[in-house]
Structures are given as C-alpha cells and as structure tokens.
C-alpha cells in the first residue's frame, strides 16, 4: 500500500509546477494589442491540462484555457512596444464566464452554430442536404450584444423569427447556392465546385476563450474527402480556418470566397493578401445596415480575384493533405464596426499583428 501511495504522489508531482513561472509577452509593434496568446505545454514544462492559475502584475487572476492541441490560452493586453508580465503557478483556476459557445442543433436540420462576443456563424448539416436544399456556404448571425445568444435565437417559438431583429441579433445574410461567408471549395476547369453539407463533426474546444470544431465531409464519387477546422476566439471578428483535402489525383486550385451582391458590388476591396466587402443584407430596405465580411490570407500566397460573382482568394496548385489556412472576418454596422472604413482599419491591424506575433518568454 505504501508503494502505491508513493507512486501516486510522484505522479502528481510530475504534473505540478515546482515554483511560480514568469511569462513575459512582448509587443514589438506600434499597435495596441488585445488578443489570445497560446503557450505550449512543452514550453511551460508541464502536462497539458494541468490545473494552473495565471495572474497579472496586479495579482489579479486571468482566464485561461487548455486547447485540444496542448496549448495554454491566455488573454493578453499589451501597449505598443511594451511587455506584459504574468505569473503562472499550480492551483485550481477560478470559474470564469464563457465568451464563446457552439453546438449542433439537430432540432434545426443539424445546423452547427457557434459564436463569440462579437459575431456568430452557422454551418448547414446532413438533415438539410437530405431535403435537397442547396446550402453550401457558412451563414452569419450578426449580434448587437456581447452575450451568448444563439441558443435563444434558435428557440422554436412561433411568435419569433431569427430573420427579425428583436434587439440581440438577427440572421440577415443571404447564403443560398453560394459560398456564403468564407466557405472553401475546389476550382476545377475554371468553375467553383460547390461543397454540400458536412457528414460528421467533433467539437474540439468549448471555451471559455476559444471554440473549435472539426467538420468532415462525405467522400465524393471521385474519391475526394474534405476536412475543416474552425476556431473562434473571445474578442475577435476573425475565425481561423484550416482546410485540407484527401484523395486528389493531381494538383488542384482551391479557394475561399463570398458572394458579391449587385447592390454592394462597388464596395469590394481587393488588397495585398485579403479581400473585403460591405454586404447589403437580404433586404436592404428593411435592415438599413451593412454586414462587413473579409477573407484574410496572411500565411500563404494567394491570387485575389472575382470568380462567378464571388470575391475569392485562390491557392494555386494545391496537393492532397496540404493545409489551406486563412481567416474569415465578419462584423455588423449596428454593433462594433460602424463603417467600412473602420472595417478596413480592423483588417489592417489584424494583418499587421499576424505578421508580427507577440513574443513569449517563459522563465521557470
């Protein structure tokens, strides 16, 4: 019995931090930075999932989250050309509210919907495909609150419609037989090969700071299987998207895109590594607002173009299992981004931040 107790004690000690660690986050840019920083368990010298407490220089505990791939998420605010210092030690973290959420809604044709404190998305599911409805792309839920509201908006209340704004959010973005907001696809013979609905899914991260879901698609008649991982963070207008295809017989162009409506065509902006646009909503006269969308490609060389009335970023010569990585941006003029000029500023700041990540130094 003593040997068993000793082994358990040694095992517990192996995942605990022997003393407090200092984590210094350096902002080398001229931007004010407010974002999540991920530090790997290996860099911290502990096992992923270990109970830890992170405190700032005022000794205030800050929310953290272990991710599915073994990284500790920390929310960091850093002034231009400055350093933010935190301490990390063993302990039971406090229970913080979640700023992200998502789940499958089998009661609504297998939608997968997820949100953070700024924006929401939904992905159409197998039940919709079985009906034959052409729902290829990601749909948007625009919000006017930092609360998590999708569960409420999905309630089956005959007196309410999520296409009407009752004060918290609304679905006023048209998808139909398009790529919606940022959906990937193959480009074959100069035409978009529109994907249909996902087959299976797995929620990888559930908050409080990041939501991540993997969706996998049925294998096509020509042997191609598509996979996607989507992540949304607290405080961000941008969803990280990682896509890969199995079974390609030869290099193929792949893209991500959004439809361009005639009523908003003049707002399209094609930049270096990004494309953005002010969508006029389903019924402009009713909503009298704009939904700002964008696709950002800070990590791969793409061609920014217009294909079949879609603004797209095209990765040329894609081969099987290569990761196609990009960010999907969305905001609403009725909430935190009031104009397309402000949207451009937010895009510029995000792209600059991706090119100069916050620098992390761990002192054990």
141 within 8 A of 121, measured Cβ to Cβ: yes
Q: Are 291 and 172 in contact (CB under 8 A)?
A: yes
CA proximity to 225, closest of 245, 209, 211, 241: 245
Taking the C-alpha atoms of residue 112 and residue 200, their distance in angstroms, rounded to an integer, is 11
Pairwise CA distance, residues 292 & 279, whole Å? 6
Q: pLDDT at position 165, please?
A: 85
In contact, 132 and 175? CB cutoff 8 Å: no
pLDDT at residue 8 in the model: 40
In contact, 282 and 170? CB cutoff 8 Å? no
Query: 308 and 255 in contact (C-beta within 8 Å)?
Result: no
User: How big is the chain, counted in residues?
Assistant: 364
CB of 109 closer than 8 Å to CB of 50: no
Going edge to edge, which strands form the sheet with 252-259? Answer: 191-193, 183-188, 252-259, 310-318, 303-307
Q: Vertex 294, ends 120 and 213: CA angle to 5°?
A: 40
Give the span between the Cα atoms of 262 and 280, in whole angstroms: 9
pLDDT of residue 156: 64
SS3 294: strand
The answer to whether residues 273 and 296 touch, using CB atoms and an 8 Å cutoff, is yes
| Secondary structure (3-state) at 341 | helix
Residue with the two structure tokens 């350093």: 83
Residue 108, both tokens: 């609504």
Beta bridge partners of 241: 230, 326
Write a three-state SS string for 109-164: CCEEEEECCCEEEEECCHHHHHCCCCCCCEEEEEECCCCCCHHHHCCCCCCCCCCC
Please, how many CA atoms are within 13 Å of residue 225, restricted to the half-sphere of its CB? 10
What pLDDT was estimated at residue 217? 98
The tens place of each residue's pLDDT in the chain, 364 residues long, gives: 444 443 443 344 344 565 789 999 999 999 999 999 999 999 999 999 999 999 999 999 999 999 999 999 999 999 999 999 999 999 999 999 999 999 999 999 999 999 999 999 999 999 999 999 999 999 999 999 999 999 988 876 656 678 888 889 899 999 999 999 999 999 999 999 999 999 999 999 999 999 999 999 999 999 999 999 999 999 999 999 999 999 999 999 999 999 999 999 999 999 999 999 999 999 899 899 999 999 999 999 999 999 999 999 999 999 999 999 999 999 999 999 999 999 999 999 999 999 999 999 999 8
d(CA 227, CA 209): 23
Q: Give the separation between CA 64 and CA 210, rounded to whole angstroms.
A: 10
- Using omega within 30 degrees of 0 as the cis cutoff, is the peptide bond preceding 229 cis? no
Nearest to 240 by CA among 364, 83, 67: 67
Asked whether the CA dihedral 296, 301, 302, 304 is positive or negative, the reply is positive
Nearest alpha-carbon partner for 256 in 210, 211, 299: 299
């Amino acid at each position: 019995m003593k040997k068993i107790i000793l082994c358990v004690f040694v095992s517990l000690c192996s995942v605990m931090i022997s003393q407090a660690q200092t984590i210094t986050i350096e902002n080398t840019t001229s931007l004010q930075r407010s974002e999540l920083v991920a530090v790997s368990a290996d860099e911290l010298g502990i096992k992923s999932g270990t109970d830890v407490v992170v405190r700032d220089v005022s000794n205030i505990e800050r929310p953290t989250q272990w991710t599915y791939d073994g990284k500790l998420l920390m929310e960091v605010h850093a002034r231009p050309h400055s350093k933010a210092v935190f301490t990390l030690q063993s302990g039971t973290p406090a229970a913080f509210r979640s700023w992200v959420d998502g789940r499958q809604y089998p009661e609504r044709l297998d939608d997968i919907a997820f949100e953070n404190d700024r924006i929401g998305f939904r992905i159409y599911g197998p039940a919709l495909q079985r009906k034959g409805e052409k729902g290829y792309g990601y749909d948007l839920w625009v919000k006017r609150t930092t609360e998590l509201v999708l569960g409420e908006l999905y309630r089956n209340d005959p007196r309410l419609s999520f296409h009407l704004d009752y004060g918290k959010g609304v679905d006023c973005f048209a998808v139909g037989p398009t790529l919606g907001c940022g959906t990937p696809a193959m480009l074959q013979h100069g035409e978009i090969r529109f994907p249909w609905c996902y087959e299976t899914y797995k929620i990888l991260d559930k908050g409080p700071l990041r939501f991540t879901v993997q969706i996998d698609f049925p294998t096509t008649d020509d042997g191609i299987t598509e996979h996607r991982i989507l992540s949304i963070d607290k405080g961000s207008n941008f969803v990280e998207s990682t896509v890969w295809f199995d079974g390609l017989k030869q290099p193929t162009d792949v893209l991500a895109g959004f439809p361009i409506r005639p009523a908003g065509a003049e707002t399209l902006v094609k930049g270096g590594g990004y494309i953005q646009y002010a969508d006029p909503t389903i019924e402009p006269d009713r909503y009298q607002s704009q939904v700002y969308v964008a696709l950002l490609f800070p990590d791969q060389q793409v061609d920014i173009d217009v294909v079949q009335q879609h603004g797209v970023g095209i990765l040329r010569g894609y081969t099987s299992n290569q990761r196609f990585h990009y960010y999907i941006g969305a905001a609403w003029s009725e909430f935190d981004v009031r104009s397309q000029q402000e949207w451009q500023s937010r895009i510029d700041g995000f792209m600059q931040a991706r090119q100069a990540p916050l620098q992390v130094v761990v002192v054990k």
